[in-house]
Amino acid sequence: MIRTESGFDRREEKIVDEVPVGLVYADDLFAVMLATPTDLEDFATGFSLSEGIVGSAGELAVTAIDELTDGVRIRMQLPVERLAALLKRKRNLMGGSGCGRCGTDSFAETLRPLDPVRSAARIEPDAIIRAMAALPSGQSLNRETGAVHAAGFARPDGELVAVREDVGRHNALDKLIGALARARIDTTGGFIVVSSRCSFEMVHKTAAAGIPLIAAISAPTSLCVGFAETVGVGVVAFVRQGRLTVYAVPSRVAMPV
């Protein structure tokens, strides 16, 4: 039921799906995330890359996606050495749709270091503004429900290459990273745009993917900014209405002299 100026109205509304998604490696449940059950092979690939479980999409084989009565299970296989390393660090994790590092059992695991991003990319401010302005065009699910986040990848000139959506901003970014890896798209010169705030985990995933800059429509966190400086990821936030604010690694943005 919807209240309007003239009273109340009854109509059908689409509600976005949010279900438990179990990530299973060689019959071992590693994590359960609450997510939108779309682009699940992209999600599994991106999650595995972001977590350091695999080093490339080619090391991961998604063998089955099972629809269960209470959720979805994604079954995957890994090379022997990758599986052995995973079993050493295994943690069962229940991750909410807004959760990025839930379930880790130590500060070291949460803040695990990454190599700095090796890219000489410098992105023009206009390209960032252009990509963010184009992001809604790839948000078909959000237009229907008003309930999901989006992550997009843009070329240096601001042209959007891919967009993925999910109720969780971290999940949307994992889906995007997985899609880019599976399509073998070179990401070293482009950048990420997201329809959310920018947290530590968003920068961690961006750095793990070797992408030099992330731009958010909303604010960053202090941990995000500090970590971004250590890994060389530019953080740009409040990208809206033709404006933006650079918070970390300003050399990633080609600011006018």
Residues 39, 155 within the same domain: no
The 10s digit of each residue's pLDDT in 68-108 is: 999 999 999 999 999 999 988 775 444 555 555 454 454 45
Same domain, 159 and 244: yes
pLDDT of residue 195: 97
What pLDDT does 118 receive? Answer: 92
Same-domain pairing of 162 and 216: yes
Is residue 163 located within the same domain as residue 59? no
Q: Do 51 and 25 have their domain in common? A: yes
Q: Is residue 222 part of a domain?
A: yes
pLDDT at 106: 46
Whether the pLDDT of residue 256 is over 90: the answer is no
pLDDT value at residue 3 = 62
Check whether residue 103 and residue 214 sit in a common domain: no
Decide if 217 is inside a domain.
Answer: yes
Assign 3-state DSSP to the chain and report helix, strand, coil percentages, each to 5: 30, 30, 40
Q: How many domains does the chain have?
A: 2
pLDDT given at position 98: 54
Over residues 223-231, the mean pLDDT reads: 97
Mean pLDDT score, 158-187? 97
Domain with 181 in it: 125-252
The one catalytic residue in 99, 102, 198, 224 is 99
pLDDT confidence of residue 110: 59
Domain check: are 91 and 177 in the same one? no
Among candidate residues 127, 146, 119, 150, the one with its CA nearest the CA of residue 218: 150
| Count of beta carbons in the 10 Å neighbourhood of residue 183 | 11
Say yes or no: 105 and 129 in one domain.
no
Is 99 an active-site residue? Answer: yes
